[in-house]
Chain A
Amino acid sequence: MSNQLTKADAARKREKNPTSLLSALKNGGPVVWLSCLVMGLGNIVAGQFIKGLLFLAIEVGVICLLAIPMIPDISGVAHSGIGWIQMLPSLGDRADATVFDENEMVYVTVFGDRSQLILLYGVVFAFIILAFLVIWRASVRSGYQALSNKKSGKKVYTFVEDVKALFDENIHKLLMTPPFVALVVFTIIPLVYMICMAFTNYSEVGDKLNLFDWVGLETFAQLFQSGNVIAKQFWSVLGWTLVWAFFATFLNFFLGTFMAMIINRPTTRIKGFWRTMLSFTIAVPQFISLLIINKMFDDNGILNTMLQSMGGEKIRFLSIATNARIFVIVANLWVGIPYTVMQVTGILKNIPADLYEAARIDGANVVQQFLNITLPYMIFVMTPYIITSFTGNINNFNVIFLLTGGGPFTLEGSAGKTDLLVTWLYRLSVERQQYNLAAVIGIFTFIVLAIVSLVTYRSSGSYKDEEGFK
């Protein structure tokens, strides 16, 4: 028992006072200094052979990766990690060329550089070097600690004990490593790579798909030049994105709250049935339900054919800008109201009943009760939900993409009339191959989202006063 406690205490102490890199270098002595060059040396000298060799293996591996040409480019010439990084500033300059092959008596294409590959490998190797530095720092510190433990007669942990520690006091290292590595490799590296593209001219425009260059803030500047086609599209898309997010969020919230209150009235029968009817739109995957809605409201869809067969006029829901915009907002109610009803139902029950009683004694009618009690309470409790749904709507790819595909389109530019920043970004990167512009729009979306969530969250009641609703 006491043994357990002291062990835990020691572990805690070790966590609290990690030997810093600086003190390791200051107090370490020659072996620690040498271990800066030969990773793992400190551990080996102190007797932690496996750990030391692991560090050494990592060092050898990374150096091989950086120094030995292993990764071939498109023409088959292999480059080393350093080689790829060296090409980063120019992003390559050899264009594809047609050369006459004298042996075969034919013209052959000799591939040149691919800037996109150079940028990708450059970013990847930059991250490898970064990761290596982190491991290097850990190895120096670990060596120093092992050595000083050995010197002062304290216990030097064996490899088995280190592995055991991974399941106990160091469990966060064990548990966090796989998700974190996956996140870095498949989310953060692509993100950095894409952000880099914003500062290049990687685009179909001007035939810059094979070879492109750094252009600094040129693409950003385009968005602020008056009269520029891209600038015009950008501001109109941004404006519509905000209008859309505003209506989609607040209409959903108010109408959803209204629906929830109607369903939860004491005298409403079969409450569960009404809720189930609504929840169909949540349960069925959106790509099915929204595609069906799209087909129904198509210019030649079931609704219009039925209208015409009844002698009515065709309503062009999707092919006129204003109609399409109203249509997506209304259709989004169909998707969004059930979510609000689900969220609100529980909260409505939590409103203190004595508030209503006091209001009734004071002579407040139903509308006044709703405006003065229900709504403020709901807004207070639901602020985080409203913020998430606002940012969610700014990013609401599915609804726009499946309902209108961003259309109707004009002849000028690639942005449609119902395009949000995200759907436009998608079209620019996947269909139009204007990667630099797509990246810039992505960065602007990020900025908009960050501002919206910071401002609204900070000024919201539940942030300022965590104590609760008063």
Chain B
Amino acid sequence: MAKNKLSSSVKAKRITVDIIVHIFLAIVAVVWVLPFVYLIAQSLRGGLNHSNDYSLFFPAQYTINNYIKLFTDTAVLSFPRMFLNTLIISICSCVISTFFVLAVSYCMSRLKWKMRKPYMNMAMVITLFPGFMSMTATYFLLKALGLTEGNMIPLALIICFSSGAGTGFYVMKGYMDTIPKALDEAAYLDGATKWQTFTRITLPLCKPMLVYQIITAFMGPWCDFIFAKLICRTNQQFYTVSIGLYTMLTLERIGNWFTRFCAGAVLVAIPISILFIITQKFYQEAMSGSVKG
């Protein structure tokens, strides 16, 4: 009887704690999602662009005109153009930087050679320098090479986004370290060259991490707006999406650009978020080990 009573009071206490916890989590979730709700709501805002319209969290009138205008009203800033620019740049830089990362991590993880340790130390020292320090210097260098004018700008952007990939090998190397060395040895005994071992044994085993790497590299140009802005300057025909959106906010006071920024932001955020979720899936898969017993 006494025992029963005790357990019921414990139970009651637990239920109260549960309720508090869930209410707390609900509040947290709302706080976390609210800005995105605001973003979507504003992207659908219709009506005239009166300044007091800003005072409403949810717009008085809904419209999809902002989205349509993004694609039709391309006189000042052409969203489709920017989207295409970013797509091309990110595909190219993704291919290059994935190759760089794979090559470096393979050499760091599977091979023994003289400059291995010095290279790793050098890479670490480089990453300790703030990236923005060399940014203007890189710009001067690209300018001297004639890559900051006209049609060369996309090339300059591709270089910027992919050239540093040689230092970003830690995650991939860590993953390759988990692949048993015995597999390589077996391949050598069967007469495979190291290139064959790399392409036919290590690479297929790296698949989950490879997908993670590819998508992460692909997302880079969609999110950076500092480096790209420095290189594109006022050449709007070469703008990437992120510079374009950033510029829209500075144009805000002149037209209905804030709502259009929101619309563009939604259109970029959706694919990037989906890609991000995919990377997480593959990352977790990778973290569970390379070779399963």
Q: Which positions in A face B, CB cutoff 8 Å?
A: 1, 4, 8, 15, 116-117, 120-121, 124, 164, 167-169, 171-172, 174-176, 178-180, 182-183, 185-191, 193-194, 197, 259, 262-263, 265, 267-269, 273-274, 277-289, 291-293, 295-296, 300-302, 305-306, 309, 334, 338, 342, 346, 391, 395, 397, 401, 421-422, 425-426, 429-430, 435, 438-439, 442, 445-446, 449-450, 453
Q: Knowing A277-B29, A425-B132, say if A168 contacts B276 (CB, 8 Å).
A: no
Residue B182 CB within 8 A of the other chain: no
Q: A167 — which chain B residues lie within 8 A by C-beta?
A: 193-195
Q: A280 — which chain B residues lie within 8 A by C-beta?
A: 32-33, 36, 273
Q: Which residue of B lies closest to A448 (CB)?
A: B128
A-B contact pairs, 18 of them (CB 8 A): A120-B141, A121-B144, A176-B104, A178-B99, A179-B166, A189-B137, A193-B140, A273-B29, A278-B29, A285-B272, A287-B242, A288-B265, A291-B249, A302-B38, A338-B32, A425-B132, A429-B133, A453-B128
A84–chain B nearest beta-carbon distance, Å: 11
Residue B4 CB within 8 A of the other chain: no
20 further interface pairs, Cβ-Cβ under 8 Å (given A291-B265, A292-B38): A120-B140, A164-B193, A167-B194, A171-B193, A172-B113, A172-B116, A176-B107, A182-B162, A182-B163, A268-B18, A274-B28, A280-B33, A281-B32, A283-B276, A285-B219, A305-B55, A346-B287, A429-B133, A438-B136, A445-B133
- The winner among B31, B113, B136, B265 for most chain A CB atoms within 10 A is B136
Q: Which 3 A-B pairs have the closest CB atoms?
A: A442-B133, A179-B166, A190-B137
Within 8 A of A (CB), among B14-44: 14, 18, 21-22, 24-25, 28-29, 31-33, 35-36, 38-39
Contact status A169-B194, CB under 8 Å: yes
Complex Cα gap A121–B140 (Å):
11
Q: A279 — which chain B residues lie within 8 A by C-beta?
A: 280
Q: Knowing A182-B100, A194-B136, A262-B24, say if A284 contacts B55 (CB, 8 Å).
A: no
Q: Which residue of B lies closest to A331 (CB)?
A: B35
Residue B67 CB within 8 A of the other chain: no
> How many A-B residue contacts, CB cutoff 8 Å?
234
Q: B242 — which chain A residues lie within 8 A by C-beta?
A: 285, 287
Within 8 A of A (CB), among B195-215: 195, 198
Contact status B133-A194, CB under 8 Å: yes
Complex Cα gap A282–B276 (Å):
8
Contact status A302-B29, CB under 8 Å: no
Contact status B137-A191, CB under 8 Å: yes
Contact status A306-B265, CB under 8 Å: no
Complex Cα gap A269–B226 (Å):
42
Q: Knowing A186-B159, A292-B39, say if A268 contacts B25 (CB, 8 Å).
A: yes
Residue B282 CB within 8 A of the other chain: no
Q: A302 — which chain B residues lie within 8 A by C-beta?
A: 38, 54-55, 57
Residue B167 CB within 8 A of the other chain: yes
Q: A446 — which chain B residues lie within 8 A by C-beta?
A: 128-130, 133
Q: Knowing A121-B144, A302-B57, A306-B57, say if A186 contacts B130 (CB, 8 Å).
A: no
- Interface SS of A by simple majority: helix
Residue B277 CB within 8 A of the other chain: yes
A164–chain B nearest beta-carbon distance, Å: 8
Contact status A172-B39, CB under 8 Å: no
Complex Cα gap A116–B136 (Å):
12
| Cross-interface CB contact of B22 among A269, A309, A391, cutoff 8 Å | A269
Q: Knowing A120-B141, A274-B29, A280-B32, say if A179 contacts B265 (CB, 8 Å).
A: no
Complex Cα gap A120–B136 (Å):
12
Q: Which residue of A lies closest to B165 (CB)?
A: A179
Complex Cα gap A453–B29 (Å):
34
Within 8 A of A (CB), among B153-174: 159-160, 162-167
Residue B138 CB within 8 A of the other chain: yes
Q: B39 — which chain A residues lie within 8 A by C-beta?
A: 288, 292
A108–chain B nearest beta-carbon distance, Å: 24
Complex Cα gap A334–B222 (Å):
21
Q: Knowing A175-B103, A277-B29, A292-B265, say if A284 contacts B137 (CB, 8 Å).
A: no
Q: A121 — which chain B residues lie within 8 A by C-beta?
A: 144
Contact status B130-A422, CB under 8 Å: yes
B contact residues, range: 35 or more
Contact status B32-A278, CB under 8 Å: yes
Q: A296 — which chain B residues lie within 8 A by C-beta?
A: 35, 38
- Interface SS of B by simple majority: helix
Contact status A175-B107, CB under 8 Å: yes
Q: A422 — which chain B residues lie within 8 A by C-beta?
A: 130, 132
Complex Cα gap A426–B160 (Å):
17
Q: Which residue of A lies closest to B193 (CB)?
A: A168
| Cross-interface CB contact of B136 among A171, A397, A429, cutoff 8 Å | A429
Complex Cα gap A425–B119 (Å):
28
Contact status A283-B130, CB under 8 Å: no
Complex Cα gap A391–B127 (Å):
10
A273–chain B nearest beta-carbon distance, Å: 8
Residue B88 CB within 8 A of the other chain: no
Q: Which residue of B lies closest to A293 (CB)?
A: B35
Complex Cα gap A450–B276 (Å):
31
Contact status B104-A287, CB under 8 Å: no
Within 8 A of A (CB), among B167-194: 167, 188-189, 191, 193-194
Contact status A305-B107, CB under 8 Å: no
Contact status B144-A117, CB under 8 Å: yes
Q: A263 — which chain B residues lie within 8 A by C-beta?
A: 25
Residue B111 CB within 8 A of the other chain: yes
Contact status B33-A191, CB under 8 Å: no
Contact status A274-B160, CB under 8 Å: no
Q: Knowing A191-B137, A269-B22, say if A445 contacts B130 (CB, 8 Å).
A: yes
Q: Which residue of B lies closest to A442 (CB)?
A: B133
Residue B223 CB within 8 A of the other chain: yes
Q: B33 — which chain A residues lie within 8 A by C-beta?
A: 277, 280
Complex Cα gap A279–B133 (Å):
31
Complex Cα gap A284–B273 (Å):
5
Contact status A178-B140, CB under 8 Å: no
| Cross-interface CB contact of A288 among B100, B141, B269, cutoff 8 Å | B269
Q: Which residue of A lies closest to B275 (CB)?
A: A283
Q: Which residue of B lies closest to A164 (CB)?
A: B193
Contact status B272-A283, CB under 8 Å: yes
Contact status B54-A305, CB under 8 Å: yes
Complex Cα gap A187–B160 (Å):
9
Q: A346 — which chain B residues lie within 8 A by C-beta?
A: 287
| Cross-interface CB contact of A120 among B22, B144, B164, cutoff 8 Å | B144
Contact status A194-B134, CB under 8 Å: yes
Q: B25 — which chain A residues lie within 8 A by C-beta?
A: 262-263, 268, 274
Q: Knowing A167-B194, A283-B276, say if A182 contacts B265 (CB, 8 Å).
A: no
